[in-house]
Amino acid sequence: MRTVTNSSMEQIIKYVTFNKIYTNEFMHSLQAHLINEINADKNKPFYRAYLNIVKETANLINSLNIKDPFTKCSFFYYLLWLGIFSQDRSFTFSDQNRISNMSALGADIMLGKSACLNNTDMLSRVLRATNTESYIIGCEVADIKAIPSTQAKTSSKYTTLTATQKEPSELSPSKEAESLLDYGNHALSIFEYQGKYYLADPTNLTFLSITDFLEATYTGERITADLKPIVTLMLEDVDVKHFKDLIIESFVFSDEPGVDISFINNHSNTSKLLVADNMDLITDFHHQITKDIDTVCKTLK
């Protein structure tokens, strides 16, 4: 296990200094704004309904005795793309006409269409609700691997999801946005497992391993993501000290190879069987949260 070197720490300092956002004054102002916005939304019906959907999803995962985060994530992928969280069980990827309310980013999913930031918000919340530390983290990807276009088949013993190649849209942030905040063009969920950090990509039904400082690689693919950890602080309720600790811990990486495709396939297959064997339970779960889904759709503005 390698530790973060002085050189790595210098890179962190350069990273945050270059973007001119890691000042106490700025962070205090930003966090105060976000906290005020969240507090203002806590009594709104869509906010309470969204949090209840997250809670009930965590309860479902716990009831099936799913312990490790890879299977939790894979199981969530299936529920997401099967439309279990959405009205009329209809769900598609779309980066257009989204609401993306800052206090409940994942609530767009209930409306039946969302993009990476919405998907990772809900996944990270579900992971935290099942006692797995997780946060949103941004990245820059030259080419998004795949946008799942699912025709999920659940009428038989086998439940499948398919991913088709799609040309990425709006992959590069504008110069103005880049100079203000280096968000990147894609969002992931970072989580801890056995002392190491990994990244889940619910939009692309896959995982990444942290392979170098501020760099991650898609499992089974030669696609590298340049990580933009500032998104964590921008979107999650963490203070500056927690953020510093998270960044330092996250990028203490191992010289050993990251997770391989067979490891991921094993967890994916486990999740697939869990879904197939529990479709009645999952259907009941959808009915159970329908009232909250409807509330989100009617009241989220």
The reply to whether 89 falls in a domain is: yes
Report how far residue 249's alpha carbon sits from residue 234's, in angstroms, rounded to the nearest whole number: 18
Q: How large is the average pLDDT for residues 166-186?
A: 44
Higher pLDDT, 256 or 13: 256
Give a three-class secondary structure readout of the chain: CCCCCHHHHHHHHHHHHHCCCCCHHHHHHHHHHHHHHHHHHCCCHHHHHHHHHHHHHHHHHHHCCCCCHHHHHHHHHHHHHCCCCCHHHCCEECCCCCCCCCCCHHHHHHHCEECHHHHHHHHHHHHHHCCCCEEEEEEEECCCCCEECCCCECCCCCCECCEECCCCCCCCCCHHHHHHCCCCCEEEEEEEECCEEEEEECCCCEEEEEEECCEEEECCCCCEEEEECHHHHHHCCCCHHHHHHHHHHHCCCCCCCCCCHHHHHHHHHHHHHHHHHCHHHHHHHHHHHHHHHHHHHHHCC
Q: How large is the average pLDDT for residues 278-292?
A: 96
Residue 179 sits in which domain range? 6-299
Maximum average pLDDT range among 134-148, 158-172, 221-235? 221-235
| 1 has a pLDDT exceeding 50 | no
| 163 has a pLDDT exceeding 80 | no
The reply to whether 284 falls in a domain is: yes
The reply to whether 82 falls in a domain is: yes
Residue type (1 letter), 145: K
Pair 218, 208: CB distance under 8 Å: yes
Q: How large is the average pLDDT for residues 207-215?
A: 84
Percent of the chain with pLDDT over 90: 36
Phi and psi angles of residue 10, each rounded to the nearest 5 degrees, phi first: -60, -40
Report how far residue 101's alpha carbon sits from residue 297's, in angstroms, rounded to the nearest whole number: 12
pLDDT digits (tens, 9 = 90+) for 60-75: 999 999 999 999 999 9
Separation of first and last alpha carbons in the chain: 47
What is the pLDDT, as a whole number, of residue 46?
93
The reply to whether 18 falls in a domain is: yes
The reply to whether 98 falls in a domain is: yes
The reply to whether 1 falls in a domain is: no
The reply to whether 125 falls in a domain is: yes
| 4 has a pLDDT exceeding 50 | no
Pair 199, 137: CB distance under 8 Å: yes
Tokens representing residue 172 in the block: 């590069």
Higher pLDDT, 237 or 171: 237
| 158 has a pLDDT exceeding 80 | no
The reply to whether 23 falls in a domain is: yes
Nearest to 202 by CA among 266, 247, 132, 144: 144
| 181 has a pLDDT exceeding 50 | no
| 33 has a pLDDT exceeding 80 | no
| 271 has a pLDDT exceeding 70 | yes
Tokens representing residue 279 in the block: 């479709």
Please, what is the average pLDDT of the chain?
Answer: 76
Please give the tally of structural domains in the chain: 1
Report how far residue 105's alpha carbon sits from residue 71's, in angstroms, rounded to the nearest whole number: 23
